[in-house]
Copies of this chain bind each other. A is one copy, B any other.
Amino acid sequence: MSTGWSTPAADVLRAGAIGPITSFDPETTPGFHGDKAAGADLLAQRGEVLADLQELLYANGRAGDHRSVLLVLQGMDTAGKGGIVRHVGGLMDPQGLSIRGFGKPTKEELQHDFLWRIHRALPPAGRIGIFDRSHYEDVLPVRVHNLVPQSVWEKRYDLINQFESELVAGGTTVLKCCLVVSKDEQKTRLAQRLERPDKYWKYNPGDVDERSHWDAYLEAYQAIFDLTDRDSAPWFVIPSNRKWFARLAVCELLIDALTGLHLDWPPADFDVEAEKKRLAAAD
């Protein structure tokens, strides 16, 4: 089956392949040569593949397999993290998902190291975890605003690599997606939220203030890609001015990650023929 991609998403969107973030164009659809309608059609098809793979993972988890998948979502405000959860997460059985969002740390969370709340939110065996923001917040706004001294945040890249290596060793497939919108597109999306009373709840005045730190954020993202994009826990950069493309890309990356697990239906842990007889004889 043609997947509509001239180059696999996992290759063309890999952080190491896209060049410097400062010259990245979020309007493009790298590796994919269809339009919005083609993208939506393909998403519906590929969504079924994704759902089937998710059920395999879940079934194996129930049968004692300890593996799981963790999708980390980062990105500028309005880049569409929530939309990915809704429209890509929504392609799957919610029972097999474990979705966690990370806002400003609570008082309790601040009394622990920055990975404490992350550990507690990891997906159980057989689940696909989706993090809407993550431990990378601790080297993004925290770095841009020096919420902790540089001597503290600059050590976090190594700590993150070490933490993710442990996760992977424990059977979690980690993939990280950074959704990128252009500064103009963000302005448009913020303005739309101010036009519609049903979108006010998504608007945060602080988002406008953050725009004045745009370049510092790009620098912080570049540092993340340079220091924490590894084959065992790769970063993908998702151009997100076109929402349909971002959804299609993340769906494809999840399919790729799940396919790599080479899952099969777990064998029966009972005698199938004996059970058939026992059931037939039952009342």
Interface residues of A (CB under 8 A from B): 59-60, 62-63, 82, 85-86, 89-90, 92-95, 97, 99, 101, 132, 183, 187, 190-191, 194, 197-198, 200-201, 203, 205, 208, 211-212, 214, 265-268, 270, 272, 275-276, 278-280, 282-283
Residue of B nearest to A98 (CB): B99
Question: Is the pair A194, B95 in contact by a Cβ cutoff of 8 Å?
Answer: no
CB distance from A143 to the nearest CB of B (A): 21
Residue of B nearest to A60 (CB): B201
Question: Is the pair A279, B101 in contact by a Cβ cutoff of 8 Å?
Answer: no
Question: Is the pair A201, B266 in contact by a Cβ cutoff of 8 Å?
Answer: yes
Question: Is the pair A191, B278 in contact by a Cβ cutoff of 8 Å?
Answer: no
* Residue of A62, A94, A208, A283 with most chain B CB atoms under a 10 A cut-off: A94
CB distance from A84 to the nearest CB of B (A): 10
B residues less than 8 Å from A279 (CB atoms): 187, 190-191, 194, 208
CB distance from A1 to the nearest CB of B (A): 20
A90 in complex: contacting residue of B85, B90, B191, B276, CB < 8 Å = B90
A95 in complex: contacting residue of B62, B86, B198, B208, CB < 8 Å = B86
* Residue of A190, A200, A265, A272 with most chain B CB atoms under a 10 A cut-off: A200
Whether A200 contacts B282 in the complex (CB less than 8 A), given A94-B86, A94-B94, comes out as no
Residue of B nearest to A81 (CB): B95
B residues less than 8 Å from A132 (CB atoms): 95
Residue of B nearest to A96 (CB): B86
* Residue of A95, A101, A187, A280 with most chain B CB atoms under a 10 A cut-off: A95
B residues less than 8 Å from A62 (CB atoms): 201
